[in-house]
Amino acid sequence: MIGELLTRIRFLIFHKRRGELDEELRFHLEQSIAVKVGEGMPAAEARRQALVEFGGVDAAREECVRQSPGWWLGTVAQDLRYAVRGILAHRWFSAAIITTLATGIGLNTMVFTLVNAVLYKPVPVPGGDRLVCIDNHSLAQSDRSGPLSYPDFQDYRAQTASFESFEATSDEGGILSESGNPPHRYHVARATAGLFSMVHTNALLGRGFLPSDDHAGAEPVLVLSYDVWQERYAGMASVIGRQVRVGGDAATIIGVMPKGFRFPSGVDLWMPLTPTADLAKRDNRQLRGYAILKPGVTMRQANAELNGIAGRLAGQFPADKDLGVRVLTFQERFNGGNIRIVFLLMLAAVGFVLLIACADVANMMLSRALSRQRQMSIRTALGATRWRLIRQLLIESVTLSTVGGCSGYGPGRGGHSLVRSIDPDHPALLDRVHDGLYGVWLLCRSVHFERTAVRHCASAALIEARSGRGSERRRA
């Protein structure tokens, strides 16, 4: 009901005046007394009986106030004010807790952000979670991954049905030279023409590759990364169409990719992979395959299909004997093996740090709660409900952990920029990695942890207070 909602909101904002309620209750009592006097009762006795009939006036008044929607907001605000005053009053105690929490949460946020970026986060392009890498590996000897040969890649691509697109790049160095500019060595990727469209990235300036660019005899073209464009050509738009030489071969600059785009890993210059006699050899393996899985196709299915194709090729060509294919996620390809173990160990280590921090904080809160038994017993005696006492403790610890968690955000951010400065070309950090969500989750976790502790000490305090031991011990 909209009307009901509006009424509630109106009363939430404009509280009833206390005087109105008192006047109403007084009117009721007077009527009651008047009736009794009318029946022939003496005034004093009528008044006494009316009051007895009414029950506790104060209780009724309180109950009326309690009917108002949101009356508890006021008491929460009260608890919050009290909590802030408590934090300020016990400055050192609070500082110790906040520092402990900030260290634990900050370290965890930092490491988790890194681990998430390096090991789990999909490459930030459309369909990035379906992006896979395809490598060869020898079935006979070691388990090491190796690159593909051009003919094998073409056979895989022609025969497989698992991928939306399937492209390959070489990974080489090349010297860029032209008249009027000193030659410089760059990281060059020779790629099949569909590489940019596979990751749905268009050129910032000019164009990417056309499908015909990687055909034999096509005009040699070159695409620059944003950094090369800025550093070598000072961001001039006129760079498009310029004739340059890469490793001695002429090429025309046709485009500039957007800032931060270095796909697949730290690439400065892209050129089309045009077939050559050298490339056509089946045992010349220097390509890495990248593909987008079709929706619904699992990595396992793709793996099985590719290995079937590889098995047939092994029967046909002696060069492909004992050659297997492996489909890996992008993260497995670039951050597999030892890096993965190191990162997971780091995560486990800081996880324990957080556990220790939480245990410390819980201990400190417990010791403080014990010293407050007297306060709790007095409040219980005055009629505070158990929930009210627990809520106050809860609000105090939530306030503390919120401050701690917010202070932990700084180290978390710091760690991220640290890693970026160490390895800015790292493929996993293509975008700005930052994961505030995890911080929130951690916060909840620590709050939850403390809540358990607080609940324990609250009930302990209550039991002690009720049996009166808390105060006796003080006297003794």
Partner 1 sequence: MPTSTDLLQGTLDLLILQTLLPGPMHGWGVALRIQQISKDVLQIGQGSLYPALYRLEYKGWIKAEWGNSENNRRAKFYRLTAAGRRQLDSERETWDRLSAAIGLVLGRTVEAPR
As measured in angstroms, the least distance from the Cβ of 2 to partner 1 is 10
- What CA–CA distance (Å, rounded) separates 405 from 444? 10
Nearest by Cα to 155 from 408, 34, 325 = 325
Task: With H, G, I as helix, E, B as strand and everything else as coil, classify residue 240.
Answer: coil
For helices 91-115 and 71-89, the axis angle rounded to 10 degrees is: 100
Q: Which is nearer to partner 1, 50 or 358 (by Cβ)?
A: 50
* Cα 415 to Cα 229, 279, 412, 422, distances in angstroms: 29, 43, 5, 11
Backbone angles phi, psi at 113, to 5 degrees: -55, -45
Task: With H, G, I as helix, E, B as strand and everything else as coil, classify residue 156.
Answer: helix
Q: Which is nearer to partner 1, 46 or 224 (by Cβ)?
A: 46
Q: Which is nearer to partner 1, 52 or 422 (by Cβ)?
A: 52
| 419 contacts: CB under 8 Å, gap ≥ 6 | 114, 426, 429
Structure tokens belonging to residue 218: 């096509």
As measured in angstroms, the least distance from the Cβ of 296 to partner 1 is 50
Return the H-helix or E-strand segment holding 338. helix 337-370
Backbone angles phi, psi at 382, to 5 degrees: -80, -5
Q: Please give the full DSSP string across 203-232, using - where no structure is assigned.
A: -SEE----GGGGSTTPPPEEEE-HHHHHHH
As measured in angstroms, the least distance from the Cβ of 389 to partner 1 is 24
Q: Which is nearer to partner 1, 55 or 180 (by Cβ)?
A: 55
Q: Which is nearer to partner 1, 20 or 278 (by Cβ)?
A: 20
Handedness of CA 247, 251, 253, 259 (dihedral sign): negative
As measured in angstroms, the least distance from the Cβ of 34 to partner 1 is 8
As measured in angstroms, the least distance from the Cβ of 74 to partner 1 is 15
10 Å Cβ neighbour count for 146?
Answer: 15
How would you classify the pairing of strands 145-146 and 131-138?
A: antiparallel
Q: Which is nearer to partner 1, 15 or 81 (by Cβ)?
A: 15
As measured in angstroms, the least distance from the Cβ of 29 to partner 1 is 9
As measured in angstroms, the least distance from the Cβ of 3 to partner 1 is 5
Residue ranges that bind partner 1, judged by CB under 8 A: 1, 3-4, 6-8, 11, 16, 20-21, 23-25, 27-28, 30-32, 34, 53-56, 59-60, 63-64, 66-69
Q: Which is nearer to partner 1, 54 or 441 (by Cβ)?
A: 54
Handedness of CA 292, 298, 300, 306 (dihedral sign): negative
Q: Which is nearer to partner 1, 25 or 299 (by Cβ)?
A: 25
- What CA–CA distance (Å, rounded) separates 407 from 442? 13
As measured in angstroms, the least distance from the Cβ of 69 to partner 1 is 6
| 103 contacts: CB under 8 Å, gap ≥ 6 | 353, 357, 408, 411
As measured in angstroms, the least distance from the Cβ of 451 to partner 1 is 31
Return the H-helix or E-strand segment holding 316. helix 299-316
DSSP state of 258: P
Q: Which is nearer to partner 1, 51 or 346 (by Cβ)?
A: 51
Q: Which is nearer to partner 1, 23 or 425 (by Cβ)?
A: 23
As measured in angstroms, the least distance from the Cβ of 358 to partner 1 is 41
